[in-house]
Structure 1
Amino acid sequence: MFKHPNLLKTHITSQEYSVSSKFLQVFTITTLMLFGSLNTYAEENNSKTQGDYTVHYSAFPSTFLKPEIAKRYSIPRSGTTGVINISVQQKQSTGSQAVSAKVSGSAVNLLQQKNSLAFSEVKEQNAIYYLATFPYSNEEILHFNISVTTNDSTSPISVKFTKKFYKD
């Protein structure tokens, strides 16, 4: 379930709430558009905060995308192709704002076979996110190592997570 960081504050200004609400609306619409439906993969909301930046990440089978969305972003819909989605938010005095970043990473299976991820930047309204595809086998466990460097930083944010994938 999506936990909005500003909702955890005890006091927020109406301006902060307005900007955060707009981000939440755009993020929700983008997520629903990409996923096409809510399921166990979409229910996960993973993020990592470092300083003023929060990196949101998710990985899911490409078959979860509606055909028209997959076609728009040149993503093959296959029972053995996954998609990783990364977005970066910067905390500001008026709330959070999507920011551009350099995103790179890899997916490594239990046999230590490494697959480099080639991320493409997507900009829509107030949202910026990065998509990459990767192959997987049925019941394969993948360890993701992602590096995110914002345009105004030299220190990357390192994101690591593990996920098990099933062939559709």
Structure 2
Amino acid sequence: MRRLTALVCALLLAVPALAAEAAKPERQETFSDGVTVYYNAITSSFLSPEMTTAAGLTRSKNLGVLNIAVFKDGKLAMANVSGTVTNEDGRKDNLTIQQKTEQGAVTYLAQFTIDRPGTYTFDVNVAIGDKINTLNFNQALFPGE
């Protein structure tokens, strides 16, 4: 009985994650001005201690990482990236997004609190020059072990 309960709970918790992924499995958004934004949000405990240290991140079961890469006309692009994350209770937090450059690659990283399992809504603005593109997506996240 205990195994069945665990299985049912696992399946129920997986449904929001599958639904979020089904909406945009490629985790990218291409805009009419030739800007393509690749994005992902994960719990930081999934990253190795070496990775988090190298990126200047904190590894924790209650912290998530938003990862953004921006391309313009197929080439890596510098941008001003800002945004917010909202949990299921409606608590909205501003994201402190930092640009990281390593060996010619540019990525934008932000950490945020994952206080409980649920679907988190991200609103991200990507500005190149005077053009601002807005990206909205949901991600099911669960505090790590």
TM-score, normalisation: structure 1: 0.67
RMSD of aligned C-alpha atoms?
1.5
| 3-state SS, counterpart of residue 156 of structure 1 | strand
Change (3 A) 1:160 1:102: same
Q: 2:30 aligns with which of 33, 39, 49?
A: 49
Q: 1:73, CA displacement in angstroms?
A: 2.0
Large movers: runs of 4+ above 4 Å: none
- What do the CA deviations read for 1:9-33 (whole angstroms, capped 9, x no partner)? xxxxxxxxxxxxxxxxxxxxxxxxx
Q: 1:136, CA displacement in angstroms?
A: 0.9
Rounded to whole Å, the distance in 2 between the matches of 1:45 and 1:81 is 23
Rounded to whole Å, the distance in 1 between the matches of 2:34 and 2:139 is 27
Q: 2:62 aligns with which of 80, 93, 102?
A: 80
What is the aligned length? 120
Q: 1:158 aligns with which of 128, 134, 137?
A: 134
The equivalent of 1:117 in structure 2 is: 95
Identity of aligned residues (%): 28
- What do the CA deviations read for 1:130-163 (whole angstroms, capped 9, x no partner)? 000000123122110000001xx31211000011
Structure 2: stretches of 5+ with no match in the other structure: 1-20
TM-score, normalisation: structure 2: 0.77
Rounded to whole Å, the distance in 2 between the matches of 1:149 and 1:120 is 14
| 3-state SS, counterpart of residue 148 of structure 1 | strand
Q: 1:71 aligns with which of 14, 39, 53?
A: 53
Q: 2:106 aligns with which of 114, 128, 138?
A: 128
Give matches, 1:26-65, under 5 Å: 45-50=26-31, 51-65=33-47
| Partners of 1:45 and 1:57 within 8 A in 2 | no
Q: 1:103, CA displacement in angstroms?
A: 0.3
Rounded to whole Å, the distance in 1 between the matches of 2:104 and 2:93 is 31
The equivalent of 2:76 in structure 1 is: 98
The letter of the residue matching 2:69 is S
Structure 1: stretches of 5+ with no match in the other structure: 1-39
Rounded to whole Å, the distance in 2 between the matches of 1:48 and 1:141 is 19
Higher relative contact order (CA 8 A, sep 6+): 2
Q: 1:126, CA displacement in angstroms?
A: 3.2
Rounded to whole Å, the distance in 2 between the matches of 1:117 and 1:45 is 23
